Copies of this chain bind each other. A is one copy, B any other.
């Protein structure tokens, strides 16, 4: 679901006509999946994890993107580095754990003992009594571009992709500028294998026509969702309700609720710099295709990361981030916060799997997009453009 726009215009958000969706085969064809890995996942900035998962020099984490494994390590100077998790010698995997701390300030291959410093330069190749072959010193680790954005770590597997990092946020990078993103801490993590193509996840994210039927609790908390729309300007008659305070017309949370949680109450102090309107609405989405979004609430944020596993399978990782102060509070009720979002995501997962199962029909060349699905259309146009570039 996209973030409610704050700027007033006279235009209605909806699509003006039925638009053709992507070809149905793109949701299950193995060659198309491979193409999307190459053209989308292997040459865009991909979110992998939070910087505080590597607090000290020599700490590392490994992440998978499609068939690729990246190794992230904090170097001696405290800087973060990313490499392919592959030794330059004969191609062995370097680190096998998801996370850990290197025993020394070196990355050492277990196979033949080649070691690299934490910037990736070759340090040592064990040998006895012979000269070093010419060219050996150039064999540093295969580097990967890395960007730390407010504590969110992104990598780009393409060595030639030159698009500035910030341009890859959909709708701009400043949607959550009033949130202290860099300072937040992981309070809870969860992952689930979704038996659907990764694009179905995003299409579901980008519309609320399904909300009334699929998300009853969410539609009570966010009354405008019950009307199948994401925000007031998805209603062609929005201008008639400009002075209303009814959240089913204007968006935002039901009266009495301040955040997405089981009881609508915050789990700790609210972020201090939020505007009155940001508090009223109560949820704001920052979207970074193809791999992640952040849902910002007044008291915490939820981060969702995708990892494609195959044409009809995607891993979905979720992190809940909180202020350190909230996590430390003796009466902190994690469950009240986490269960709400986890429940909504479980409902989405089930319905995405349903959507996947119907794509194979011979007669079904492509779906259609309804007026309210303008952001699904935008997502699909983004996919088409990425495949064409």
Contact = CB atoms under 8 A, between A and B. Distances in A.
Interface of A: 14-15, 17-18, 21, 24, 27, 42, 67-69, 84-94, 96, 110-113, 125-131, 133-136, 139, 142, 157, 159, 203, 209-210, 212-214, 227-229, 235-237, 351, 354-355, 357-364, 367-372
Given A126-B228, A128-B229, A237-B129, A358 B135 contact: no
Contacts of A27: 91
Contact of A213 (B112, B134, B135, B228): B112
A354 B92 contact: yes
Nearest to A229: B128
A85 B363 CA distance: 10
A366 to B, nearest CB: 8
A358 B236 contact: no
A17 B134 contact: yes
A347 B175 CA distance: 52
Closest 8 pairs between A and B when the two form their complex, measured CB to CB: A142-B363, A86-B358, A93-B357, A84-B361, A90-B367, A93-B358, A86-B361, A92-B355
Contacts of A129: 235-237
B368 A139 contact: yes
A110 B354 CA distance: 9
A370 B89 contact: yes
A209 B109 CA distance: 12
Nearest to A144: B363
Chain copies in the assembled complex = 3
22 contacts: A18-B135, A21-B90, A67-B360, A69-B357, A84-B362, A91-B364, A92-B354, A96-B357, A110-B351, A111-B213, A111-B214, A111-B351, A112-B209, A112-B210, A112-B213, A127-B370, A128-B228, A128-B235, A129-B236, A130-B371, A142-B363, A157-B362
A96 B363 CA distance: 19
B358 A130 contact: no
A359 B91 contact: yes
Contacts of A371: 127, 130, 133
Given A110-B354, A113-B213, A157-B362, 18 more contacts: A27-B91, A67-B360, A69-B357, A84-B361, A84-B362, A84-B363, A89-B368, A90-B203, A90-B368, A91-B355, A91-B367, A111-B351, A113-B209, A113-B212, A125-B370, A127-B372, A131-B236, A133-B371
A2 to B, nearest CB: 17
A88 B142 contact: no
Given A90-B21, A134-B17, A351-B111, A361 B142 contact: yes
Contact of A358 (B18, B87, B227, B358): B87
A85 B358 contact: yes
A73 to B, nearest CB: 16
A47 to B, nearest CB: 18
Nearest to A203: B90
A235 B14 CA distance: 76
A212 B367 CA distance: 55
A305 B278 CA distance: 61
